[in-house]
Structure 1
């Protein structure tokens, strides 16, 4: 065979070899390094991820014993999703208010209980959905524990309506048929004994004198994981008895509730408790019903409540005295009240806008001792002492604005 024929016969083999080499050799980038196909890399990443993160088993999702109002890590909820094949978790019996950090195995259960009311507010994606950013961690402020209100009167009904409207799982407890009828008339759910046992917070909306008896009865039947909170302004936590491992507290709305349908929004609630987790829950409850929370020292509850009574109930008594004064002038009570209510509202608006001293009006501010003396002579004997005491208080508010002569003349008239 000639050399030319030999070259011709070997040429196809060389082309095939070069073709095979070209197909197998990966393309090089500008740096000369071999580039990896993106699709293959993506597939490899997905495959490796699937191998590294198998679905959680049922044993991994069992919740640790639940301890209500425990001091948990604020970022204590898990971000991973539980496999649908896992068995539903079962919470062990609650333990009372222990200080602990939530264990990872309990997080799925806790996250579910926190967000059952309004999950969309926290921006949480639906199970199995792909989110562009991680869902925000649920904090302790998002919890809405089960609440049972004992008492179906004006305050119990008002709190029940306000909490129910903001997504709190709340029921009202009453032993009598009349109380259950009031609950149904408000559109609220009457509680059962099972609701009491499953509750995490029991609010006592009963008369002050009944608080110790009702608290003692409940403490003997309910688990220690259930917090007891009274709503009496004048009572300390001692009215609830010895803690014995139970969280105790008070939640007193500073609102003159004359009907169960009165709104609590815009008012203030005084709270007191020795349990930090319970304090957070009570503050959350106040925020949800649009109450500003303040804390009152236990040693001064009586003085606090006296001031609250003076600004509400005794204002009504003062209005009655004013109506009686107008009655001395021959004005019927109904007409007198209609005339005085707008005047009282204007005084409150002035006080709100300009403070106590700036909102004060009348003869005391003007230093008019002659008018004050005429008032005292015209008022009935049971009304004049009220006028005299309140005028002395008003004089202290504005004494620096008066001349020494005017101040001395008023002091003489008010002795």
Structure 2
């Protein structure tokens, strides 16, 4: 199998390394606008807003054309298949970055879907099918789990700063708590993993926390209130105190 990767972003570079390690002959990653040679497949790894335009510039290539967007439909992009690694990339990952992760796949034909699934398996990922009708919901779940988590952790850093901790100290001290929480969530689900004052029904402590945020980080108070109320709902699903 031969593959051309268009786009030198984090995902494109990581996939190029993974494909090569899997025995796939890779051309690229190429810069957008460069000529794209013929091959078995072309994988477009560019921002969502540019996918359709880039694919339109490819012309009549004999191979299949795919993209790596989780949210963009095959029809909107005029793509044959899609391959969306359910992972976050920092830019320095090697081929092993895909080992064991989920990978959403789709294809406009059974043959294209089979190619997407084969690619996922060859780089060590676990393919699962997401059709165009459910892409937005799937991608929203991924954004909440990854991007929104970082928003909350940044808020935690800001609140920790009001207690005299530097950003580096806050990350060092809170990281083990975050890792343990995520591991417990993975094993038990959110209701079973929930601990803390809201889970215990200790609203007096929650009020103290809110007062501290109102004084030290008032911009974060709306976020705290929304999260506290959502956590009360979660605690009610739990059914027992912790």
Fold equivalence (TM over 0.5): yes
| Structure 2 equivalent of residue 286 of structure 1 | 120
1:307 is the counterpart of 2:141: yes
| Structure 1 equivalent of residue 151 of structure 2 | 317
1:334, distance to aligned residue in structure 2 (A): 1.2
Give the whole-Å Cα distance in 2 for the aligned partners of 1:276 and 1:342: 44
1:249 is the counterpart of 2:89: no
Q: Check the 8 A contact 2:74/2:108 in 1, yes or no.
A: no
Mark the CA change 1:334 to 1:260 in structure 2 (over 3 Å): closer, same or farther. Answer: closer
Of 99, 103, 110, which aligns to 1:265? 99
Of 209, 213, 216, which aligns to 2:49? 209
1:229 is the counterpart of 2:66: yes
Give the whole-Å Cα distance in 2 for the aligned partners of 1:270 and 1:158: 16
1:394, distance to aligned residue in structure 2 (A): 2.2
| Structure 1 equivalent of residue 182 of structure 2 | 348
Q: Check the 8 A contact 2:4/2:26 in 1, yes or no.
A: yes
Of 212, 229, 237, which aligns to 1:392? 229
Give the whole-Å Cα distance in 1 for the aligned partners of 2:208 and 2:239: 20
CA displacement, residues 236-277 of structure 1 (integer Å, 9 cap, x when unaligned): 112323xxxxx6111111111111425122211111112111
1:302, distance to aligned residue in structure 2 (A): 1.9
1:169 is the counterpart of 2:25: yes
Mark the CA change 1:173 to 1:400 in structure 2 (over 3 Å): closer, same or farther. Answer: closer
Give the whole-Å Cα distance in 2 for the aligned partners of 1:211 and 1:268: 22
The TM-score normalised by the length of structure 2 is 0.89
Q: Which residues of 2 match residues 25-36 of structure 1 at below 5 A?
A: none
Q: Which residues of 2 match residues 31-50 of structure 1 at below 5 A?
A: none
Higher helix share: 2
1:286, distance to aligned residue in structure 2 (A): 0.9
Structure with bigger RCO (C-alpha 8 Å, 6+ apart): 2
CA displacement, residues 187-238 of structure 1 (integer Å, 9 cap, x when unaligned): xxxx975xx22x12111001111111101001x2x33x31111111121112
Q: Check the 8 A contact 2:3/2:43 in 1, yes or no.
A: yes
Gaps of 5+ in 1: 1-144, 180-190, 242-246, 407-415
The TM-score normalised by the length of structure 1 is 0.54
Give the whole-Å Cα distance in 2 for the aligned partners of 1:360 and 1:295: 31
Higher strand share: 2
Give the whole-Å Cα distance in 1 for the aligned partners of 2:105 and 2:227: 30
RMSD, aligned α-carbons: 2.1
